[in-house]
Amino acid sequence: MSYNIRKLKYFVDDIDGGLRTNQLIAEDYFLAEDDHELGEMMGMMMSQAHYSSFWGVARGELATKAVHAQEKENLRLSWTSGTTPLTSNTFFREGYVHFTKGNFLSNMPIIGRALSMFFQKKVIESLVVREGKVVFRDLGYNWQLGVH
C-alpha cells in the first residue's frame, strides 16, 4: 500500500493523547480571535506567549493586545479552512488577507479600498498549545514553496 503526502497529512502522531483537548482549545482560541474577544483570547494564552504577525513578534499581554489591535485596524481576514492539526500540539488554518490600510492601493482616495480587494494574498495562521494554553501564535503569508 502506498501513501502520498495528501493522504498522510491527515494522520497525526498523538503520543501524549492530548490531540482532542488541544484541538478544542485551538478551535476556541481561533473563534475568540475572530470575534475580537480579547479577554477570552488572553485567558487561553500563557502570560508570556509569543504572538507573531506582519508587524513583528509580541510577548506578553499588553504587547499582544497592541499587535491584535493593529491587525484589527489594518487587515480583513477570511478563512478557507478549519483548524487542522500538524502534531498533537500544533495547529493551523489557511485563508486570505486583504489589507484595508497601510499599502499603496488601499491608501488611494475613493477607490483604493475597493481595488485592494482584488489583490488578496494567501495566509496561514499557526498555533502551538502546551498544557492547555496557547504558547505561540503566528500569522504570515502562505508561500507554499515546494509543497505537493
CATH of the domain at 77: 3.10.450.50
Structural domain for 61, as ranges = 17-141
DSSP assignment letter at 16: S
In a domain, 29, yes or no: yes
Cα–Cα distance for residue pair 52/54, rounded to 1 Å: 7
Asked, for residue 8, whether it belongs to a domain, the answer is: no
Over the chain, what is the mean pLDDT?
Answer: 81
Residue 49 lies inside a defined structural domain of this protein: yes
CA atoms of 103 and 56, how far apart (whole Å)? 17
Sign (positive/negative) of CA torsion 57, 62, 49, 12? negative
Is 103 part of any domain? yes
Are 140 and 127 in contact, with CB atoms under 8 Å apart? Answer: no
pLDDT at 133: 94
Please answer whether residues 134 and 93 qualify as being in contact, where contact means their C-beta atoms are separated by less than 8 angstroms.
Answer: no
How many domains are there within the chain? 1
In angstroms, what CA-CA distances link 56 with 19, 23, 28? 29, 26, 24
Q: Is residue 41 part of a domain?
A: yes
Q: Determine the pLDDT at residue 56.
A: 85
Q: Tell me if residue 47 falls in helix, strand or coil.
A: strand
Check residue 72 and report its DSSP letter: H
Helix, strand or coil for residue 146? coil
The reply to whether 81 falls in a domain is yes
Q: Is residue 147 part of a domain?
A: no
Alpha carbons 67 and 59: distance in angstroms, whole number: 10
Q: Is residue 146 part of a domain?
A: no
Please identify every stretch of the chain with a pLDDT value under 70, giving residue numbers as ranges.
1-17, 101-118, 144-148
